Amino acid sequence: MRNKTALVAVLFLCLVLSGCVTLKDPEASQEYSADLVATVGPGQTAGQTFVSRRPRLNQVQLWLRQAKPPVQPDGEVFAELYASPEAEQPLARVAIRYATIARSLLVTIPLPPQSDEPDQGYYLVLKTGDGAIGVLGRAEDAYPFGELLVNGGAVDADAAFRLGYAYDAPAMIHDATKALSGIWLLIPIIVLLWAPGRLLLSVFAGQLRLDWGERSALAIGLSMALVPLVMLWTTALHLSWTRTGVILVYTSVVAGLVWRAWRTRPHPLRLSLDSTDLVLASILAFSLLIRLAMVRDLAAPAWVDSVHHATITRLILQEGGFPQSYALTMQTEASGYHPGFHSLAAAFHWLSGLDLPENLLLLGQVLNAACILGVYLLTTTLTNDRRAGLFAALIAGVFSPMPAYYTSWGRYTQLAGLVILPAAFKLVQVVLEDGQTTWKNRASLWGLAAVACGGLFMTHYRVAIFLALLLAAYLLGETLRNLDKTPLWRSLPPVLGRLGALAGISLLITLPWWPNLYQSMIAPRLALHPLAPIPLKVDWGLLTPAYGKAALILAAGGLVWSVFRARWFGPVLALWVGLMYLSANQGTVSLPVSTGINKTSVEIMLFLPIAVLGGFLIGDLIDLSDRYMPAILRRPYHISIALITAALGIIGAQKLLPILNPSTLLFRQADRQAITWIENNLAKDERFLINPFLWGYDLYAGQDGGSWITPLSGRLTLPPPVLYGLGDEAEVKAITQASRQTLDHGKDPAALHALMQEQDIHYVYTGGRGGAISPGALKSSPLFEALYHQDGVWIFRLRKRGIMPHKILSYRKPYTISDFRSESMKSNLSIGLPRMHLEPGEKRDFLPEFVQRLCHFGFEIFLEHDYGIGMGYKESDYVALAPTAQLTTRLETFNKDIILVLRYPGDDALANMQPGACLISMLHYPTRPRRVALLKEMGLEAISLDSIQDDVGRRLIENLRAVAWNGVEVSFKVLKEHYPPPGLEDPNRLPIKVTVLGAGAVGMFAIQAAIRYGNEKTWRHMASIGATGVQVTAVDYDLTNHPAITQQILKYTDILVDATQRPDPTSPVVLNEWIGLMRPHAVLLDLSVDPYDCDPVLRSVKGIEGIPQGNLDQYVFMPDDLAYEAIPPCVQTKERRLAVSCYSWPGIYPKECMDLYGKQLAPLLHEIAKRRGVQNIDRDGSFFQRAIGRAMLSNWKNIDEKGKQ
C-alpha cells in the first residue's frame, strides 16, 4: 500500500477542512426549565438577553410548549435576534412552525453565524400572530448575564436556553495555538501510558512478530494494567506513593527504554514505520484531535460518574495508595469499586501536576483515542489482516458513536478496561497457542498475560467478564474449527489447563483485593434472589447516532461475508455478543445470581465487534478487488479509495464533534471559583446541601457543580457521590429520603432549614447550572444568610445552627461535660452501677467523671460500695464529682430502673432485678442464646453494648483497637519466650508469619498491630537491631472454606489470630486436627472469645477449635495447662499449641479502657434520660435513638435462630 501516504496527508487535513460544526457552550446557557415564565400570544412578546461566551453564535435552543393552537394549520412563531433590546433592526429572523413546538419542548433556532467577538451580548425575542406559546425557564432571576423581558419589561425570571456556536477553521487554529503551550503534556502521557508496557515487551516479548500498531496497543494495555497491580501491593505492604517516588520510578522506566534502545542498535526497539503504520498513526491523531475538540467547553468531566472517579482519585492522592474506606467522602464503608483508572489518574496527576478536573478530562480523552489502537489489535488478532485493522480503527474513531460518547457519561473506568481488553486477549491467545520453544519465552509471555488480565480485573470487573466470554467463544470456535484435525479429548484439556493456570496466576497477583471485593460487591449480589430474565430489547439509540447505522450495516455485512468466506471469527464475535447479552440477564434463561452486568454496559461496548466486522468487510473486499484489478488501474484505484476515505472521515468528524449531550455537563467554571472559596474560608468538616436529582437505581446525585465539592475540597455533601449506594441499606435509605425532601421543598426555606437542622448541615450550595433549590427564596428568608454570590453560584449559611445528631454520617465528636451542663434535668430514673465480681484481674468500673455526667443527666445514681477500688479510686472520689450519688449494697444496685455494668453480671444477679427493668451490659446476643432466652423469660429489657450500632453498622461502644493490640502484644511476648534459637531478635531469622482469620474491624486492627509486634516500642527496637519484620496474611471464609489451602498456610504460621465474627458459631474455622500441622512454637491468639456450648440445639465453638477460654487472671496457656480439662468433651483438644485467650482484652489497661467506654456511652445515656426511660426510645427516631433501638432486647429478631438477625 505505497499510496497510503496520500491518505496520511489527507487525514491530517480532515479536521481543518471539516467545515462548520455547531458546538454547544454550557458556560453560556441557562438550562433550568421547570417553570412557566411567560406566555406569548398575538401582540405579546417575550425576550431574553444573554451573553455568548464564544464568537460565531449560530444557534439558540429554547424550551417552549404550545399554550394555544393556531387557527391556521401552518401557524408560525417568529424569533428575532437583536444586538440589544434597544436595537431597531434584527440581526436575524427565524420562523418556527407550531408543529415543531408540538413535537418537542426543546426547539432549535438556527441563526446565521454572527461575526462578533467573544462575550457579545444579544437579545432574542419571540412573537406570534396566531395561537400562543409558553416559555419555560426559572421563575426567578438566576442567570447572571441577562434577564427576561415580557412585553418589553424586565421580570424576575429567566427563560431556559442553550447557545450554540460555529466551530470553524479559525476556532480550530485558535485551539491548535493554545494547545502548543501544553505540548509538553505529551511527555507524561507517553511515559505513563506507553513506556512501561513497551519496556516489558522489549524485555519479555521480543520474540513476538508485531507491527507498530500492535506493539503500541500492547504497550498501552500493559502500562495501564501494571499501575493498579503495583499500587495494590504497595498498599498491602503499607508503602505510600508520592510525586517524587512516581517521577523517579518512571524516570527509571525511560532510562530502561533508552538502555534497551542502545543495546538493540542499529534497530532500536523496532521504531521503523511502514505506510500502514503511518496511516494508523494518522487515524489515531485524527481521532485524538476530534476528542480534544469535543471537550473544549468543559470545565470538568461530565455527568455523575466523573464525580466519584475524581473523589476516589483524590483519596488515592491523599493516602498514597488505595483507600481502605470511602466513609469520609462518600458516606459508605465500602471501597471495593474497581480502582484501576483512578490509580492511573493519580499517577498522571503526580507526573503532570494538573488540577483534578483537567487531569481526568485530558486522560479520559487520550484513553478514548487510544481505544482505536485496541480495535486495530483485536482486528488483526482475529483476522490477520492489517488493512481490516485500519478500517476497523477508522470506524471506531470517526463513525461509531462509541466510544466517543463515553465522555458524556464520564465512563472512564469501562473505557480504560476496553483499552486493556484487546491486549489481554492477544497475550492470552499467544499463551493458549503455546508456540514458544523455550521455557524462558513461555514464562515471559505467561507473566505478561497474567499482568494484563489482573490489571484488567482491577480496572473494570464487567470488562474482565467480557474478556472471559470472548475467550469462551474463541475457544469454542477454535475447537470446532480444528475438530477434524485433533480429537476433542486431546486438544481441549491442555488448553483448559493453560487457561486455568493463567487464571490462577491472575488471581494470585490480585489476591489482596479479593476480601475487599467480596465484602463490598460479591456478597451483596450473592444475597439477592435469582433474577427473572428480561426480554431482549436493543436500545438502538446507543448504537445509531453519528454514523452508527452505517457501522451496523457494515458489521452485518461483515458477519455474512465472514460466513461466506469461511472465516470463523465472524460467528465467534456473534457468539460473544450473545453471551454478553445473556450475562446481562437478557433473553429467556434465568441467571442464579446477579453478574453486575446490565444491558447498557453491553451495548456501549459493541463498537468493538462492530468495528472488527465492518473493517473486515471493507478490507477483504478491497483485497479481492486488488487481485482482479489490472495493474495499470491499481494506482488510481488506491488514490480514489484514499480520497473517498478522507472525505468520509470529514463527514464523520462533522457528525461526531457535537455528539456530547449538553444535559450531562453539570460543572461550570464559576463552580470552580466557588469551591476554591470554600477551601479557603470554611472548615474542613462542614457539610453542604446541594441540588439533587434522581439519577438511577433509586439513587440521588448532585445536579450541578455542587456535586464536585467533595472531590475538589474534601467537604461532604448531601447527596454524596453515588457510590454511597454500595453502603448499608439503612444509610442509603436515609440519604434517599433526605434528597427527596430537598427536591420536594427546594423553594420552601423553612422546610429546608428543618431538614438541615436534622442532618446537622450548615451550608447550602446552588451551582451555576442550578436545580430544585431556589436561591431567591433562600436569599429573602431570615433563616439563611448569603455568604457567596458570583456568576450564578450561591452559598448560604443557616443563621441559627441547631444541635442535632447526624443521621447520615457516623462521625461524632467526643462529648464533654460542657455539652450537658445547660441541659441538666431531673429524669426520675434510677440507675445502679454494681461492681463486677468476676476474676480478681477484672478491675474495671466506670470512672468518676462518667458518674458525674450521669448526675448532670438527672439520674438517681446508686453505686456499690468500694466502686472503683480496683483502679485505685475511693468512694469519696465519686461523691466529690457527683454529690447526689449514693453508696449502697450490691443487692440494692440491681433493684433500679436501669442497671449498668460492663460485663454480664451472671444469671443469679437477674433475680434481683424488677420486671421491666433494663440491663445495659455486653450481652453478646448472637452467641449467647441461653442468656437471651433467660432475659426474656424474666420479663426484663436489655441493651447489649456490643449491639449498639450506627446507621452503617459500626459499633458505637467498642474498644476494638485495644482488643487487637493488647492480644497481639501478649502473643508476641509469648512467642519471644518460646521461639527457637537463636531467638526472635536474631537479625538473620525469617520473617515472623502472622495469619489473621477475618478482615473486619478487629481483623484490620490486628493486622496493624501485628506489623508492629503489638507494641510500637518493641517494633522500633526490632527495627534498630536489624531484625527481619513481620509478614501478615489476612484470610476470610472464602479461603478457609478450602481446607488444603488453609492447611498449607498454617504450616508456616507463627501466630494464628482468630478475629472472625461468625454468624454461625456451630462450626470452627480451624479444626483442631489442623493445629497439629503448625510449628511447635506457634501461638494461637483468640480475639473473638466465642464460648463453648455442647447443647445439640445451641451448639457453639470457638473459631480455633480446642483452645481454652481465658480471662484477666489467666490469658496464656501452655499445651499441658489444666484449663484444657475444662473444655467440654464435644470439643476436640488433642492438638495443642501455645494459646492466648482473654474474655476482656481491653481490661489489661483498665483506666484507659473505661475512659473510652464512658465517653462513648455518655450521649446514649443522655438520650435515655431525655426520653424518660428506654421504653420511650423510638427505633426510627433520632440518630442515638436508632442506635439504642438496634441493641434493645425487645427489638432483637429471630431469637430462636441462634440470635441471627
CA pair distance 55, 60, nearest whole angstrom: 13
Rounded to whole angstroms, the Cα distance separating 722 from 271 reads 45
The SS3 call for residue 411 is coil
The predicted structure's pLDDT at residue 6: 41
1007 assigned to some structural domain = yes
**What sections of 584-668 are H helices per DSSP?**
599-603, 607-628, 631-656
Please tell me the distance from the alpha carbon of residue 345 to that of residue 365, in angstroms, as a whole number.
Answer: 12
Give the per-residue pLDDT at 332. 61
pLDDT of amino acid 590: 64
- Average of per-residue pLDDT across 36-57: 95
**Which of 603, 626, 649 is a domain's end point?**
626
**Considering only CA atoms, which of 645, 1196, 1146 is closest in space to residue 926?**
1196
Choose the weakest-confidence range: 471-475, 993-997, 1058-1062: 1058-1062
> Looking at this protein, which amino acid is placed at residue 870?
G
Output the nine-digit C-alpha cell for 340: 484501576
Average of per-residue pLDDT across 36-47:
95
At 592 the pLDDT is 66
Between CA 319 and CA 325 the distance in angstroms is 11
Average pLDDT estimate for 638-652: 89
Q: Which residues pair with 1117 in a beta bridge?
A: 1139
1092 φ/ψ angles, rounded to the nearest 5 degrees: -105, 140
Could you tell me if residue 9 is inside a domain? Answer: no
Residue recorded with cell 452508527: 548
| pLDDT confidence of residue 954 | 77
**CATH code of the domain containing 86:** 2.60.120
DSSP symbols for 84-140: STT-SS-SEEEEEEHHHHHH-SEEEEE-PPP-PPSSEEEEEEEEESSSEEEEEEESS
Secondary structure (H, E, C), 1134-1187: CCCCEEEECCCHHHHCHHHHHHHHHHHHHHHHHHHHHCCCHHHCCCCCCHHHHH
Residue 1203: the pLDDT is: 34
In degrees to the nearest 10, what's the CA dihedral of 1015, 1019, 1025, 1026?
A: 150
Contact 1132, 1070 (CB under 8 A): no
Residue 69 dihedral angles phi and psi, to the nearest 5° = -65, 150
Same domain, 905 and 1019: no
Question: Both ends of the chain: CA-CA distance in Å?
Answer: 70
796: Cβ–Cβ under 8 A, 6 or more apart, which residues? 763, 764, 775, 778, 779, 784, 785, 786, 787
Distance between CA 1044 and CA 1039 in Å, rounded? 10
Pairwise pLDDT comparison (344 vs 182), residue with the higher score: 344
In this structure, the answer to whether residues 1037 and 1137 fall within a common structural domain is yes
C-alpha cell, 251: 524516570
Mark whether 998 and 903 lie in a shared domain: no
Kindly state the greatest CA–CA separation across the chain. Answer: 116
Provide the grid cell at 739.
434528597
Of 1087, 807, 1106, 1053, nearest to 958 by C-alpha is 1087
Q: Is residue 491 part of a domain?
A: yes
The pLDDT of residue 814 is above 50: no
pLDDT given for residue 1197 in this prediction: 64
DSSP per position, 40-51 = E-TT-EEEEEEE
Instruction: Say if residues 218 and 394 touch (Cβ distance below 8 Å).
Output: no
CA distance 215 to 423: 9
Residue 1064, C-alpha cell as written in the block: 454461625
Same domain, 707 and 772: yes
Q: Which amino acid belongs to residue 1043?
A: P
Is pLDDT of 358 > 90? Answer: yes
Q: In the prediction, which pLDDT does 751 show? A: 92
CB 746, CB 756: distance < 8 Å: no
User: Rounded distance, CA 714 to CA 323, Å?
Assistant: 14
In this structure, of 53-57, 198-202, 1061-1065, 1156-1160, the range with the lowest mean pLDDT score is 1061-1065
**Does some domain include residue 804?**
no
CA-nearest of 530, 537, 528, 526 to 590 is 530
Of 378, 395, 464, the closest CA to residue 607 belongs to 395
Q: How far apart are CA 323 and CA 1091, in angstroms?
A: 35
> Per DSSP, which regions of 912-1005 are E strands?
918-922, 941-944, 992-997
Residue 183 has pLDDT above 80, yes or no: yes
Q: Sorting pLDDT into bands at 50, 70 and 90, what band is 533? A: low
Q: What is the mean pLDDT of residues 491-508?
A: 90
DSSP state of 399: I
Q: Is residue 309 part of a domain?
A: no
Q: Are residues 775 and 892 in the same domain?
A: no
The pLDDT of residue 8 is: 42
- Beta-sheet strand order (sheet of 92-97): 92-97, 76-82, 120-128, 45-52, 148-150, 153-155
Model pTM score: 0.68
Instruction: Answer yes or no: are the C-beta atoms of 109 and 62 closer than 8 Å.
Output: yes
Q: Is the pLDDT of residue 138 over 90?
A: yes
Q: How far is the C-alpha of 691 from the C-alpha of 707, rounded, in Å?
A: 8
Per-residue confidence (pLDDT) for residue 267, from 0 to 100: 57
Cα–Cα dist 10/394, whole Å: 14
What are the tens digits of pLDDT across the range 693-713?
999 888 999 999 999 999 999
Q: Is the dihedral of CA 902, 905, 906, 909 positive or negative?
A: negative
* CB atoms inside a 10 Å sphere around CB 99: 13
3-class SS of residue 634: helix
596: left (phi over 0), alpha (psi -120 to 50) or beta: left
Q: Please give the average per-residue pLDDT across 702-726, as a whole number.
A: 93
Cell matching residue 773: 433549590
When pLDDT is cut at 50, 70 and 90, the band that residue 928 belongs to is confident
Average pLDDT of the chain to the nearest whole number: 88
Count Cβ atoms below 10 Å from residue 202 Cβ, excluding itself.
Answer: 21
Three-state secondary-structure class, residue 693: strand
- HSE-up of 1072 (CA within 13 Å, CB side)? 16
Regarding whether 1052 and 1131 lie in a shared domain, the answer is: yes
Together in a domain, 580 and 509: yes
Same domain, yes or no, for 690 and 790?
Answer: yes
Alpha-carbon gap, residue 227 to 193, rounded angstroms: 10
The rounded distance, in Å, linking the Cα atoms of 773 and 383 is 56
Domain holding 1024: CATH number?
A: 3.40.50.720
User: What cell numbers appear for 866 in the block?
Assistant: 468500694
Mean pLDDT of 288-305: 94
Banded pLDDT at 801 (limits 50, 70, 90): very low
Element (H, E) at 255: helix 243-263
When pLDDT is averaged across residues 124-136 and rounded to a whole number, the result is 94
- Within 10 angstroms of residue 260's Cβ, the number of other Cβ atoms is 17
Domain boundary at 626, 642, 657, which? 626
Task: Look at residue 340 and tell me if it is in a domain.
Answer: no
Angle at 549 between CA 547 and CA 553, to 5 degrees: 120
Please report, as a single letter, which amino acid is at residue 638. Answer: H
* Domains held by the chain: number: 5
Q: Are residues 1001 and 1091 in the same domain?
A: yes
Q: What confidence tier does 1093 reach under pLDDT thresholds 50, 70, 90?
A: confident
Residues 895 and 987 in one domain: no
For residue 586, what pLDDT is reported?
65
With a CB cutoff of 8 Å and minimum separation 6, the contacts of 27 are 53, 297, 299, 668, 669, 768
Query: What's the gap between Cα 490 and its chain centre?
Result: 44
Is the previous residue joined to 982 through a cis bond, with omega within 30 degrees of 0?
Answer: yes
Grid coordinates representing 682 are 470554611
Residue 4: predicted pLDDT: 43
Q: Is the pLDDT of residue 841 over 60?
A: yes
Residue 159 has pLDDT above 80, yes or no: yes
Average pLDDT over residues 90-104: 93
Is residue 975 located within the same domain as residue 908?
no
Given this model, what pLDDT does residue 293 score?
93
More confident residue, 1184 or 387: 387
For residue 150, the Cα-to-chain-centroid distance in whole angstroms is: 47
Write out pLDDT tens, residues 1048-1075. Answer: 999 999 999 999 987 778 889 999 999 9
Last residue of a domain, one of 572, 607, 626: 626
Report the percentage of the chain scoring pLDDT > 90: 65
Q: State the Cα–Cα distance between residues 1115 and 1107, nearest whole angstrom.
A: 11
Please state the rounded mean pLDDT for residues 947-968: 87
For residue 493, tell me if it sits in a domain.
yes
Q: Among 989, 1005, 847, 832, which Cα is nearest to 914's?
A: 832
pLDDT for the residue 325: 78
Domain that holds residue 1115: 960-1148
More confident residue, 1104 or 815: 1104
pLDDT for residue 554: 97
Above 60 in pLDDT, residue 281? yes
Per-residue pLDDT tens for 762-796? 999 999 999 999 999 999 999 999 999 999 999 99
Q: What is the pLDDT of residues 383-411, one digit of tens each?
A: 999 999 999 999 999 999 999 999 999 99
pLDDT confidence of residue 689 = 97
Please give the pLDDT value at position 1143.
82
Residue 753: strand, helix, or coil: helix
CA distance 11 to 255: 34
pLDDT at 1198: 43
Could you tell me if residue 1193 is inside a domain?
yes
- Cα separation, 128 vs 147, whole angstroms: 21
Same domain, 751 and 610: no
Which residues touch 602 (CB under 8 Å, ≥6 apart)? 577, 580, 581, 583, 584, 586
User: How do residues 312-327 score in pLDDT, each as one tens digit?
Assistant: 999 999 999 998 877 6
Least Cα distance to 171 among 365, 29, 20, 53 occurs for 20
Extended strands (E) in 622-781: 687-690, 692-696, 699-702, 716-718, 763-766
Q: Could you tell me which residues are beta bridge partners of residue 922? A: 903
Rounded CA-CA distance 455/724 in Å is 25
Label residue 577 by pLDDT band (50, 70, 90): very high
pLDDT at 242: 94
Mean pLDDT of 1197-1202: 43
Strand partners, 92: 81
Given this model, what pLDDT does residue 837 score? 84
